[in-house]
Amino acid sequence: MPMRPAFGGPRLLLRRLREVMAEQISAQERLDKIVVLIAANMVAEVCSVYVLRVDGTLELYATQGLNREAVHLTVMRAGEGLVGLVAQTAEALNLSDAQEHPSFSFKPETGEEIFHSFLGVPILRGGNTLGVLVVQNRAHRKYEEDEVEALQTTSMVLAEMIASGELSALAPPGQEPVARRPLHLPGEGLADGVGLGHVVLHEPRIHVAKLIADDPARELVRMETAIEALRAEIDDMLDDEAVARGGEHRDILEAYRMFAHDRGFVRRLKEAVGTGITAEAAVERVQSDNRARMMRQTDPYLRERMHDLDDIANRLMRQLTGDKGVVPAELPDNAIVVARHMGPAALLDYDRTKLRGLVLEEAGSTSHVAIVARALGIPTVGQAENATSLADPGDAIIIDGATGEVHLRPTSDVENAYAEKVRFRARRQAQYAAIRHLPAVTRDGVEVKLHLNAGLMVDLPFLEETGASGIGLFRTELQFMVANALPRTAEQLDLYRKVLDAAGERPVTFRTLDIGGDKVLPYMEVIQEENPAMGWRAIRLGLDRPGLLRSQVRAMLRAAAGREIRIMFPMIAAVEEFDAAKAIVERELTHLRRHDHRMPDRVQVGAMVEVPALLFQLDELLPRVDFLSVGSNDLVQFMFAVDRGNSRVANRFDTMSPPILRALRLLARKGHEHGKLVTLCGELASRPLEAMILAALGFRSLSLSPAAVGPVKSVIRDLDLARVSALVDDLIDKPKPGPSIRQRLRDFAEAEGVSL
């Protein structure tokens, strides 16, 4: 049995590599020195670095021991040869006779046929493969476990060098290293608009400045201490009274506790420290290996666990560094924030004068942060998978909130195309500004009132900027969602008074608290439900907790002293529920009179039509209400039994299909028949094509996002309403095979010169 060569160990090698990294030399010279150092330290006859290119191939960038002429000439396809196999699997490959392996690929220009033993490790960063590091020897032998560990640790240095973009200068266009390649990430458009700027990570990755441990024993103690502190932190969160009651938050924390106590995870961390690196570097290396494995899983459950492991690793890193991960106090100009997920309160912490966009890995169009982003006019893209790992702080980035596209490190062609798109949007905005004070009246003289959806103080300036007719939906729950504790009656009163002051003579419709279901307040009891969207929420919660509803109604009525106010109740499913809610308003009016408070001039009380059952109670309901508002988001969800937050089914049915259009037409006609205003305030009203159809169905009042007022008003003013109404009625009453209603109406708009 051949004797194993002496192995220098990683600590000395890492020190020497650090010296090379600090030298003022070219990228190629630096790589050439690195492979010489690694080969000498590991007593290897060959050391080679292969870099993954943007075209998916692997190129030999440096070698010690193979023919130097092969550098930048030897290129392998993805998955080709042993090097391609390591890149594809993101796992180390340790062979005593490489040429016997079925994946071996002979490259005559390298001269590697005389070498038998082979050890290849992936060069990983954030779980993403950037290249492959290889050592070889003539002798038939398997490399020892500590040698594999040492090479994996060494690859971390190369990962940072590749990720820095230093090697890009060595490659012709189209063959640059994959690490700094332009990326197109498909996502879901959550808030319209185009954002051009530079990446700011919401939870910045902690940069490991020091890889080499001065005292390995001390690093092991630091790691053990941090693991114990992490476990204690998770236990404290699980003991919190709100979490202890159960629910999704507890399930997540239980998963965290399982990982924090997992023996394999802890063992790998300690083994990494044992190679001579710091505790922080060990966490980074182990988590990069974990991510590489998880990202190659097809099981969505296992891929979801990757996020849990990311969170655990980040928490452990913060225990080691003391970094609290707070939102940066000072944003750079043209900042685009990239986050895995974010609550609405965190978004409001950012300086909105410098914030140009938001990218989220997890968030749907109905998430709270998306609602707030739309209210603030911040272009937002959600469902951008792996964005936080692929983006580096300061990277150039372009996002399109309409199409859901994210362009990371865009090419000049993409930048120019989007710059032109921004200029075009600016010209369109100038056109919308020119009609700001003109009414939304069709060519044949029918007016459609355009109101705003709002929910925060930051929305109020849009009343003047858009020329809207009023606020058709003020979501009062947003004040509760962004607060750390239940807002007191005085705080609610102050907000409602400011809203009414800002509106002046224009009407404001306040929706009472629409919480529960997916809108969980952090300071309220979490109720675990099978179907939360159809559970204890909105008016159901308000009627069961009348103290909360009464205090809110009282604040609204007091804020409206001497003026008109409209109060609307969400998710009414039966006439009796509306009667009970209206009785609370009457009771609070009596209370104000009894205590000599100044009374509102007029109080209008309405219901929100979101539950399909109300469609069959309209003749009983309409005489009782002063107005109706249609919440199309939930109405569509319930009519089609489709969870709008579930990406697998959310787009299964077209909202502009006959069943929905018939229901909406019925609502508009019944309102007209009873002489009651019916306003549509769901997402449909904010899209020009859908707004055109709503007007054709008979809606004369729409409530929409501030950014949509200009485009929708422009469409309304271009319409011959009689012609489009006749077409829509025909399409609803006599469905035809062929193009969808949506497509037929697009064709109609184009033929009529209506710009959508």
Residues designated as active site: 368, 681
Q: Copy the structure tokens of residue 16.
A: 């020497």
Q: Which helix (H) or strand (E) holds 339?
A: strand 335-339
Angle among Cα 318, 319, 321 to the nearest 5 degrees reads 60
Distance CA 102, CA 114 (A): 17
Class of residue 328 by CB neighbours under 10 A (exposed 0-12, middle 13-18, buried 19+): middle
Cα separation, 608 vs 568, whole angstroms: 7
The one-letter code for the residue type at 477 is E
CA distance 689 to 701: 16
DSSP secondary structure of 611-630: SGGGGGSHHHHTTT-SEEEE
What residues contact 450, with CB distance under 8 A and at least 6 apart? 440, 466, 468, 469, 702, 703, 704, 709, 712, 713, 716
C-alpha to C-alpha distances, 672 to 322, 470, 531, 679, 735, nearest whole angstrom: 63, 21, 35, 11, 25
DSSP state of 601: S
Q: How far apart are CA 576 and CA 652, in angstroms?
A: 34
**Single-letter amino acid, residue 64:** Q
The candidate with the shortest Cα–Cα distance to 119, out of 99, 92, 145, is: 92
Paired tokens of 640? 């089609």
Q: What is the rounded distance in angstroms from the CA atom of residue 455 to the CA atom of residue 372?
A: 8
Task: State the Cα–Cα distance between residues 82 and 46, nearest whole angstrom.
Answer: 15
Rg, C-alpha atoms of the chain: 31
- DSSP string for 464-523: HHHT-S-EEEEETHHHHHTSSSPPPHHHHHHHHHHHHHHHTTS-EEEEPP--BTTB--TT
Query: Among 15, 43, 225, 47, which Cα is nearest to 132's?
Result: 47
Beta-bridge partner residues of 184: 407
Which alpha helices (H) appear in 42-120, and where do they start and end? 81-89
Beta partners for residue 134, in sequence order: 48, 120
**What tokens appear for 37 in the block?**
């150092």
* Closest C-alpha among 343, 686, 366 to residue 358: 343
In the chain, the amino acid numbered 197 is G
Which residues make Cβ contacts (< 8 Å) with residue 390, sequence separation at least 6? 126, 128, 183, 185, 408
In total, the chain counts a number of residues equal to: 756
Where is 348: in which H helix or E strand? helix 344-348
Structure tokens at 115: 């070498």
